Amino acid sequence: MIHHLADLINREVLEQLSLTGGSPHLAETALRRAVSQAIGQTLRTELFSSKKRPFFSTILCRRFMFTYKIFISSPGDVGRERHRAEQVISRVAAEFQDRVEVKPYFWEYEPMESTRDYQENIPLTSDFDLVICILWKRLGNPLSVKHKRPGGGRWRSGTEFELVTALEAKKARGVPDIFIFKNDTKATFEADEEGAGAKTEADLAQWKALIAFIKEWCEQEQDGQRVFTAALNKATPPWSRVVSSL
C-alpha cells in the first residue's frame, strides 16, 4: 500500500493547486499534510519492524519549497526505536528533497548549554510541524519547578511537557501533527546489583506513571463511561518476540 502513497499525494497536491489557482499557501498546506502522512504511514509500518521497505516513487509538483520541522520526543528507554525513526525520516526526506527541506530534531545530537537544564536546551514542540513520540516502559523524570505547569503542579517528565505543549499548539493553530508510537512489548525490569530492590521500585513507578499518562491522553469520561478520545500506534517489535521465545 505504501508504494501508492506518492501517487495519492501528487493527486492531492495537484487538486489543491487547480482549486486555488496555484495558491502557494494552500499548496504548501497540502504538501505539509502529505509529508506528515508519508512519515506517519512509514513509521507505522517500519518503526517496530526488522525489514526495510522500498522508497516511494516521487512524482511531486516542484513549484514551491518550504522547511518541514520534525521533533522526536521520548524518554530514554527507546534508543533503538529513535534510531529507526531517524532512518525512516532520512529516507522520506530524500524522496521529498526537491520539494521540502525536512529538518528533524534529535536532542541526543545537540549540544547542551551547561547553565541551563536539559529541557531549557530543547526547543518547544509548538515550533514544529510534526511531533513524533515513542514510548515503551518509562514516562521520564520530573521537570524542575522552574518549568511552570498551567494550573499548578510539576510536569511529570519532559515527554509529557513536550506532548502537552504540542497539543495546545495544535488546538490553537492546527499544527503540529502528533503521532504517538507505543512499543507493546511486555515491560521487564532488572533488579539492582545490591538486591535492595530500589531500582525495580523506581522502574515500576515509571511504568505506572506511563500507564496513567496514556489513559489521561487517550480516554475521557463521557456520560459516566470511559471513552477513547485519542489513538496510539501500537506494535510488538519482531526482535522482542524472538527474545521472549528463547
- Ranges under pLDDT 50 in the chain: 1-10, 12-14, 16-24, 26-27, 53-63, 239-246
Pairing of strands 130-135, 225-228: unpaired
**Residues 6+ away with beta carbon under 8 Å from 3:** 54, 56, 57
**How long is the chain?**
246
Q: Summarize pLDDT for 145-164 with one digit per residue, the tens.
A: 999 888 888 999 999 999 99
Q: Whole-prediction pTM value?
A: 0.71
Q: Which amino acid type is present at position 212?
A: A
Domain assignments of the chain as residue spans, ordered by start? 2-237
Q: Where are the beta strands (DSSP E) in the chain?
A: 66-73, 100-105, 130-135, 177-183, 219-222, 225-228, 233-235
Q: What is the DSSP string of 192-217?
A: PTTS-SHHHHHHHHHHHHHHHHHHHH
